[in-house]
Amino acid sequence: MLFASMTFLWVFLPILLIIYFIAKDKYRNIILLIFSLIFYSWGEPTYVFLMLFSILINYIFGIILDKTKNWAKKIIFLVAILSNLGLLAYFKYFNFIIENLNNIIQSNYFKAKDIALPIGISFYTFQIMSYIIDLYRGDIKVQKNPIKLALYISFFPQLIAGPIVKYHDIEEQINKRVTTVEKASEGIKRFIIGLSKKVLIANTLALMADTAFDSNISTLTMPLAWLRNNLLYVPNILRFFWI
């Protein structure tokens, strides 16, 4: 589901806001978690279970880290980090590794697999790892409520494209947050501005980028070649002026 899609703007978001604001405070985290999972499942109905599995494993790692002391804590920490990196490497680099191994031995002994890359796996994996790392360092307290930890990892506004948010930055908002008219107004304003940038600027530049990158390089004119070479820098230039 895309933030600029009609499904999100006219169905998902209004229903979420209505249910969220009529619900009692103690149910709001659960509502946000459910809708975040629905949002992710819209594009990845199968891999949502992979994300839930990753959350569960790291929740357990967090509990164990909190109770473990001395040298054993380092071992648990390394196992947790390697587990997360291993899961990420399997989905992102398995076939790359297999291809290079076959090139080294000059054979097709190792067989590649048809592995679909789960949406947002890099973002939520590194976000989970940031929680484990901060917990190991003693910068935060362990989150014993699985609903709150799952919400931190799967919160839909930043789940697919980031940014990666450290747990201590939003811990207070997860545990207890206050909604005011002023904050709501500011949020709506920022959402409208961001959506406008996406629809009016980013999508327009995407058409230019697709045309440039899909063109045969031997047939490019000088202006189009220059545009193709510099399109990668446009988002950073625009971001510089918008900050």
* Higher pLDDT, residue 183 or 58: 58
The H or E element spanning position 168 is: helix 167-175
Task: Report the number of distinct structural domains present in the chain.
Answer: 2
Same domain, yes or no: 201 and 133:
no
DSSP string over 28-42: HHHHHHHHHHHHHHH
- Of 129, 157, 179, at which residue does a domain stop? 179
Q: Are 93 and 122 in contact (CB under 8 A)?
A: no
Same domain, yes or no: 26 and 40:
yes
- Of 147, 163, 179, at which residue does a domain stop? 179
For tokens 């994300």, name the residue.
Answer: 51
For tokens 């789940």, name the residue.
Answer: 159
Q: What percent of the chain has pLDDT over 90?
A: 35
Write the DSSP symbol of residue 115: -
DSSP string over 116-161: PPPTTHHHHHHHHHHHHHHHHHTSS-----HHHHHHHHH-HHHHTT
- Of 152, 179, 206, at which residue does a domain stop? 179
Instruction: List pLDDT tens digits, range 8-32.
Output: 888 999 999 999 999 998 899 999 9
Same domain, yes or no: 149 and 31:
yes
Same domain, yes or no: 148 and 223:
no
Does 192 reside within a domain?
Answer: yes
Same domain, yes or no: 211 and 234:
yes
Same domain, yes or no: 138 and 191:
no
Write the DSSP symbol of residue 73: H
Closest CA to 68 of 130, 129, 138: 138
Helices 146-154 and 121-137 meet at what angle, rounded to 10? 130
Instruction: List pLDDT tens digits, range 181-193.
Output: 888 889 889 888 8
Report pLDDT for 243: 41
Does 1 reside within a domain?
Answer: no
Does 40 reside within a domain?
Answer: yes
Same domain, yes or no: 41 and 156:
yes
Same domain, yes or no: 94 and 113:
yes
Contacts of 162 (CB under 8 A, 6+ apart): 123
Same domain, yes or no: 122 and 227:
no
What beta strand segments (E) does the chain contain? none
Question: Average pLDDT of the chain?
Answer: 84
Same domain, yes or no: 130 and 232:
no
* Higher pLDDT, residue 118 or 32: 32
Report pLDDT for 64: 94
Does the pTM exceed 0.75? yes
Does 90 reside within a domain?
Answer: yes
Q: Are 88 and 125 in contact (CB under 8 A)?
A: yes
Same domain, yes or no: 53 and 166:
yes
Helices 70-105 and 121-137 meet at what angle, rounded to 10? 150
Same domain, yes or no: 138 and 40:
yes
Structural domain including 65 reads 6-179
- In angstroms, what CA-CA distances link 127 with 58, 72, 165, 210, 217? 11, 24, 7, 31, 39
